[in-house]
Amino acid sequence: MNRTKIAGIGHYVPERIVTNAELEVVMDTSDEWIIERTGIEERRFGERFKENTTILGAKAARKAIENAGIEAEEIDFIIFATLSPDYFFPGCGVLLQRELGITSTEIGALDVRNQCSGFVYGMSIADQFIKTGHYKNILLVGAEMHSMGLDFTTRGRNVSVIFGDGAGAVVLQPSREGESSEILTTHLHADGTYAEELAFINPGAHGGVHGNKDEMGYSENKWDPIFITQKMLDDGMTFPYMNGQLVFKTAVKKFPEVIMKALNTAGKKAEELKLVVPHQANLRISQFVQRMLRLRDDQVFSNIQKYGNTTAASIPIALSEAVQQGVVQRGDLVCLAAFGSGFTWGSVLLTW
């Protein structure tokens, strides 16, 4: 059976920097309030009408493909992870294929909708395809354009101050004989009990099944489309919702569990880790997890201060930066871990 390695990596973040001070102008918040609760100092927003999730993903993908030393035409499968797709359907996978100009090969394109855990889930999927010899060059992209769907008012500040735009990508290939680079183990988990506690529910096809239809403004007329109502628009019900306390409480439990599960499965110890690259959900969560695992500061990579939470894009952006900065070098033991909406969480342990 083949072993899977990351052969190429790249990331892209938009040029526009949005500081906490800029958010103070449009909502009742402060730089101190945001930093104290999240550690975020600034984030990037894509250029409206010129950039979208697919375009961000394509810019990162081109860098990863170049870094892998291959041509785009050599990609034989695409996996695209995002929670902010350009369209309700089709997904961004086929749009990325078109953007990269590789439609003539008619390769498959898979969209992963596991939100914050999307990139980790995508890594596990790609690993299975590579191991079994089904594909040889898989392009995995995590990209987000959150700024197009946030509530930039005081009402939405608890969520809107957290998120930013960006994309990261990797090319996965079989490891050659004698190479130490490989994915050692992957672990995926989910618990849908609290699905609505971190969610973007409206517009959707639920039709009030998971809520009071009258409170959402649905009509009794069976021929009226059940999708979006004026009440949803008026009451700001078409934006993401997060139960911050529950998310924090669950994340600081699941992050260490899934990291240790990966280490135990591979017969490794925490002190052997060169680097943990967590999904950049909240700097306070990462710091809490670091203390629980008794890791040194240099063993946990954080860039949420600069980019905010880019959900599915956060791990590949952070890993790409770590590689660029020389923090990670070939042969190093690295653990990727994520927790988010669903709830879903997972880990990937690899030697770079």
On whether both 326 and 189 belong to a single domain, the answer is: yes
List 18's β-bridge partners, or say none: 43
On whether both 119 and 188 belong to a single domain, the answer is: no
The whole model's pTM is what? 0.95
On whether both 160 and 46 belong to a single domain, the answer is: yes
The reply to whether 212 falls in a domain is no
Q: Return the CATH number at 55.
A: 3.40.47.10
On whether both 112 and 253 belong to a single domain, the answer is: no
Residue pLDDT, tens place only, 197-246: 999 888 877 777 766 677 777 777 777 777 788 888 887 778 888 899 99
The reply to whether 19 falls in a domain is yes
On whether both 41 and 108 belong to a single domain, the answer is: yes
Cα–Cα distance measured from residue 126 to residue 334, given in angstroms and rounded to the nearest whole number? 18
On whether both 11 and 151 belong to a single domain, the answer is: yes
Q: Could you say which of 125, 144, 174 is where a domain stops?
A: 174
Nearest to 346, CA basis, from 14, 77, 122, 91: 122
The reply to whether 66 falls in a domain is yes
Task: Give pLDDT, residue 304.
Answer: 98
Task: Give pLDDT, residue 211.
Answer: 64
On whether both 290 and 317 belong to a single domain, the answer is: yes
Local structure of residue 167 (DSSP, 8 states): E
67 is annotated as an active-site residue: no
On whether both 143 and 246 belong to a single domain, the answer is: no
b/e per residue 207-224 (b: at least 16 CB within 10 A)? eeeeeeeeebbbeeeeee
279 is annotated as an active-site residue: yes
Cα–Cα distance measured from residue 116 to residue 341, given in angstroms and rounded to the nearest whole number? 7
Total structural domains in the chain?
2
On whether both 111 and 190 belong to a single domain, the answer is: no
116 is annotated as an active-site residue: yes
**In Å, how far are 54, 80, 81, 97, 223 from 91, measured between CA atoms?**
9, 8, 10, 11, 28
Find all residues with CB under 8 Å of 161, minimum gap 6, and list them: 20, 23, 27, 29, 34, 38, 40, 308
Q: Could you say which of 145, 174, 203 is where a domain stops?
A: 174
The reply to whether 150 falls in a domain is yes
**Of residues 20, 116, 146, 202, which has the active-site annotation?**
116
- Count of Cβ atoms closer than 10 Å to residue 170 Cβ: 31
Residue pLDDT, tens place only, 54-100: 999 999 999 999 999 999 999 999 999 999 999 999 999 999 999 99
The reply to whether 219 falls in a domain is no
The reply to whether 138 falls in a domain is yes
On whether both 16 and 165 belong to a single domain, the answer is: yes
Counting as low any pLDDT under 50, the low residues of the chain are: none
The reply to whether 38 falls in a domain is yes
Q: Which domain holds residue 44?
A: 4-174
**Of residues 67, 114, 279, 335, which has the active-site annotation?**
279
The reply to whether 91 falls in a domain is yes
Q: Could you say which of 174, 204, 229 is where a domain stops?
A: 174
On whether both 283 and 156 belong to a single domain, the answer is: no
316, 290 in Cβ contact below 8 A?
A: no
On whether both 151 and 13 belong to a single domain, the answer is: yes
